[in-house]
Structure 1
Amino acid sequence: MTVILRVNSKSNCFLLEMNMYDSIGKFSERTGLSRYTLRYYEKENLIKPNRHKNGHRYYTEHDVNWVLFIKKLKDTNMPIKQIKQYALLRERGDITLEERMLLLQHHQRFVLETVANWQGHLNNLNEKIDFYRKKISSLR
């Protein structure tokens, strides 16, 4: 569902457009996460969907962006405990900007160390592949 608020341009108001996903299934499709994972994130207070008067969940594009950011953090192997800490800080608003930045900087160091470690592994593989190329070439 898309909600559109149109206001006369002469009144200096703007157009508000907000995509809404009225089911966890549609939200799951949009984010690429399973319903099970989304319910788990809700249980862990990582996401807090809005509720219609009848109690049914609905999600906005803001929720999509947040979940996609969580996915990126997970992709970098940030532990769920740290993601929860980040989510709590985020919920408290701008007074936690510095704390959030520090948390992300700490994780950034971990990611950089991991990348350096993998670069070492890649270098070892490249050396071995070069060894085989040279050996094969010398036998021809």
Structure 2
Amino acid sequence: MSDTPVRMSVQQFAARTGLSAHTLRYYEKIGLLRQVARDASGCRVYGPRDLEWVGFILRLKETNMALDDIIRYADLRERGDSTREARQALLVAHAAKLQERLQRDREHLDALQKKIELYRQQTTA
């Protein structure tokens, strides 16, 4: 992240994260983004740590973690080091769900590939 500016406006941060300014404000409202810095004019200013945190939020979302669980993780994170075990437990549970989903997806992919191969055999016959 050496090319990450130290301070980013909402527009710059939105461009870096792929999220809209509206979504960033929503994340702040529901407690996913906390303690967002403000400049002298009161405009939001984001830094590298915010970028890293939003990247993690997006990873959790992309792996289908429920929004309530992401908010719970954010709450625990905000409370500090004393919540490390609880955060780890939340991630372990999510990883187990993700592993189950990957296994189901592999099974579905195998079934699709078998069907595709069947069609290929019928086409060349």
- Give TM-score scaled by structure 1 length: 0.81
SS, match of residue 6 in structure 2: strand
**1:36 is matched with which residue: 22, 45, 60?**
22
Alignment match, 1:76: 63
Write out aligned runs for 1:74-113 (5 A).
74-113=61-100
With a CA cutoff of 8 Å and minimum separation of 6, indicate the structure with the bigger relative contact order: 2
Runs of 4+ in 1 over 3 A off after TM superposition: none
CA distance in 2, matches of 1:126, 1:58: 49
Alignment match, 1:46: 32
Unaligned runs of 5+ in 1: 1-16
Unaligned runs of 5+ in 2: none
Change (3 A) 1:34 1:18: closer
Q: Percent identity?
A: 43
CA distance in 2, matches of 1:73, 1:46: 12
CA distance in 2, matches of 1:131, 1:18: 54
Most deviating of 121-130 and 52-61: 52-61
Between the two proteins, the alignment pairs up a number of residues equal to: 121
Alignment match, 1:7: none
Structure with greater helix percent: 2
- Give TM-score scaled by structure 2 length: 0.91
Structure with greater strand percent: 1
SS, match of residue 19 in structure 1: coil
Write out aligned runs for 1:9-28 (5 A).
19-21=6-8, 23-28=9-14
